[in-house]
Chain A
Amino acid sequence: MPIPILMPALSPTMEDGKLAKWMVKEGDTVAPGDVLAEIETDKATMEVEAIDEGIVGKILIDEGTEHVAVNKPIAVLLEEGEDESALKDFDGGGAPPAAAPVTPAAPSQAETPQPSPEPTPQPAAQTSGSNGQAGRVIASPLARRLARDGNLDLSGVKGSGPNGRIVKLDVEAALKGGQAAAPAPAEATAAGQVVPAHTGSAAAIPAMADEEILGLYEPGTYEVVPHDNMRRIIAERLTMAKSTIPHFYLSVDCKLDALLAARQRLNAMSVEGSPSAFKISVNDMIIKAMAMALQKVPNANATWTEQGVLRHRSSDIGVAVSIDGGLFTPVIRHSEVKSLSEISNEMKDLAGRARNRRLAPHEYQGGTTSISNLGMMGIKAFDAVINPPHSSILAVGAGEKRPVIKGDAIEIATIMSCTLSCDHRVIDGVLGAELIDAFKGFIEEPVTMLV
């Protein structure tokens, strides 16, 4: 089956780009990692690498063509044994069925939205520094320092120095091309569709093919909204999460009365307009409570890796922020030592910038857990999908007046339902229960967060 190569998106907002240069010609044999072409936008020039083996069957877009739309097929790879007759059906038309996407060599720019990307072990698709092997990255001292200062993960940089050494020029080029922190799986999908590559067992049962889906709807009764980068990444990350992480869910109802009262009193003390002004939201207090809970139940502040469970020391909480067309999860680091006002102000800043897609990668990557709050939407309770590489996520529902039993009498209290999704590889039932119980304790008696 011939493999179409699509125009990659170099950033979530890229609509089209210039196919600047072809590095291969029709008839060339390519192997994974070979550079196929150079793509230019007004922001950067990137290389497009092959992830499949094959022969360049047909080049569909000429060198130098501008305004090539993202996802438009730019070439076709013939697999072994195929010849030109297989190309008859490819004419640069729409989205092909189950195509293998192309991996840009230098990944997308800082705006790549990620729930919480950290480099996950990559089987196939990822371009690596010419060092290749896991372990020591060979780079000059200056290159290392420039990479460190620019938050650049050297393992993704190709070295042009002796024996593949990464030198200053390589780092400067990578930083200019917008490659910020660890190139994550997102890059693999920048151009194509969902990559099953790292979902191991999930690939055994393939998703419903587009052809099949479109066949179920009357043409003309729908409009196709092309995926932007964010949508693609969300789809890919969360499918991977749901299919590889063994989720289980623990729910508790928290009494909010004491917390709401405390919040009111605290906010009343803020002097409006002063540099130390604050307006603490319920969510800010939920963040703090979760931070304290993770410190109280440290075994649950952890991440699964093949080598072992990473037990984190600080509570770095990712907080889901809904934005137009998707979501971001900026991380508040060390929230166990930050005051409520600090958390509140930081959250305001991060959320504001998230909505403008102005977060730097290090601001939304990593973290040790997430909180997703749909209370303002009137949701009573829900179960959230864990954001890899976390091992938990807290789904917060609306706080509402409900009847509760005290002793033998019915009383009214403000109750908020929370559900903790846990990664069973890391968090067993009892541990999860301890965590959410600790959280509940801090929510219901907020003053205990001071102890």
Chain B
Amino acid sequence: MTETSFDMVIIGGGPGGYVAAIRAAQLGMKTCVIEREHLGGICLNWGCIPTKALLRSSELFHLFNHADEFGLSASNIEFDVQKIVKRSRKISSRLTGGVAYLMKKNKITVIDGSAKLKGKGVIGVTGKDGAGLPDVQAKHIIIATGARARSLPNLEGDGKLVWTYKEAMVPEFMPKSLLVVGSGAIGIEFASFFRTLGAEVTVVEVMDRVLPVEDEEISDLAQKSFEKQGMKILTGTTVEKLEKGADSVTATLKGKDGASETITVERVILAIGITGNVENIGLEETGVKVDRGHIVIDEWCRTGVDGVYAIGDVAGPPWLAHKASHEGVLCVEKIAGIDGIHPLNTSNIPGCTYCWPQVASIGMTEQKAKEEGREVKVGRFPYQGNGKAIALGETDGLIKTIFDAKTGELLGAHMIGAEVTELIQGYGVAKTLETTEAELMHTVFPHPTLSEMMHESVLDAYDRVMHI
């Protein structure tokens, strides 16, 4: 007998949905997750996790090809694209299984099917095979349906020659040449992966720099690194049209000066943003507001329709799994009436890009701080000045910190270089604890580590840097 009445029903079992479910269960709510494809959502299956697996393979390929530097010999390093992909798929399904286990452990009901809001507290469910399933009753409904690749009139994936992340994640062969449209995290990570494995990669970006959400200085350093690796970067450039051949695509690009050029590549990867999965889930019927492809929510993830909430990618930026998870937790805790919770402070959400060299940042960029009229102190420390970085052979990078000159508040930290995605959490903890420069200076960072640069960067902001 399947239960159909719950305290909390979550539509979507990605990092937002399944985490919200676990929290709800921990707080004693009878919880159900309705998932139409696979637990873990895009993150585990077609996003965060598999790309990290792919990038690990390309990272090692790169290292093997430089074995000589480290006193090792290795020649004729080869790779098997299908095997690389297979590994990443195995990792995805292992983690999906893991989430299924967590659901069981927390006694959360999982319904395989697509959900549609029917009315107050009622959700219609259609099974994976298309058959109707019994309606589900819910006191509270959290919509966590995530998002998908955005397309534009002349830029649409066709599953064959023009790829979105879905095809790029499981290439059956290594293309000789690629055009990557969009230089956000997704575009750059794929560009990095394919370039490292030898494809000729051209990146086209409409803004004037790559990774446009990052601090300007970091974008510049990233572009320099990518170009050193042989990537062709065209900023301030749009794709006018794509003409498909038998096994290639010819793209017409328009540069900032207005001049057009064409480029012919084997495949195109579109990474021009994402749009929320807001269709066919009963939003119009129930009156849930949608704005430009995302559900409108307040700081507690409430939609304005009583008992209906939205979290994660479907609810707007930043489109990050950890943002979805935290929204899930705070939404559930607010419903449960827990004291002392606070809405998400977006300036304390780190963003990571796992290209090579890695990029990670948190808080305000230098430009934003200046735009707000703040007087700032900026510290910088280059990887070249760090012993561990040199010992690792990873000397490309920079750690930049930005402080409010008056109060010493850590406004932002922006990093590029090996392992910065693992380092950024230190600044995250510091920001959450409302550090000033003093506490960071007093923190003892271990030696020899890359993390020491985080300390030196802070010292540099106050003209006390030691190691450069």
Contact = CB atoms under 8 A, between A and B. Distances in A.
A141 B433 contact: yes
B340 A142 contact: no
A141 B436 contact: yes
Interface stretch (A93-101, A143-151, A296-304, A377-385): A143-151
A167 B340 contact: no
Contacts of A146: 407
A141 B340 contact: no
Interface on chain B toward A: helix, strand, loop, or mixed SS?
loop
B135 interface: no
A357 to B, nearest CB: 28
Contacts of B408: 142, 145
Contact of A167 (B407, B434, B436, B439): B434
A140 B433 CA distance: 6
A146 B406 CA distance: 9
A162 interface: yes
Contacts of B407: 142, 145-146, 149
Given A145-B408, A146-B407, A140 B340 contact: no
A237 interface: no
A160 B340 CA distance: 7
A168 interface: yes
A162 B409 contact: no
Residue from B342, B408, B434, B438 whose CB has the most chain A CB atoms within 10 Å? B434
A388 B438 CA distance: 37
Interface in B41-70: none
Contacts of B406: 149
Nearest to B430: A141
Interface string B423-441: 0000000000111101100
Interface in B386-409: 406-409
Interface string A154-188: 00000011100001100000000000000000000
Nearest to A143: B434
A143 B409 CA distance: 10
B232 to A, nearest CB: 44
A145 B436 contact: yes
Nearest to B432: A140
Given A142-B407, A146-B407, A149-B407, A168 B434 contact: yes
A111 B20 CA distance: 49
A140 B435 CA distance: 7
A145 B435 CA distance: 10
Interface of B: 340, 342, 406-409, 433-436, 438-439
Given A140-B433, A142-B407, A168-B409, 7 more contacts: A140-B434, A141-B433, A142-B434, A145-B436, A162-B340, A167-B434, A168-B434
13 contacts: A141-B434, A141-B435, A141-B436, A142-B407, A142-B408, A142-B409, A145-B407, A146-B407, A149-B406, A160-B340, A160-B342, A161-B340, A168-B409
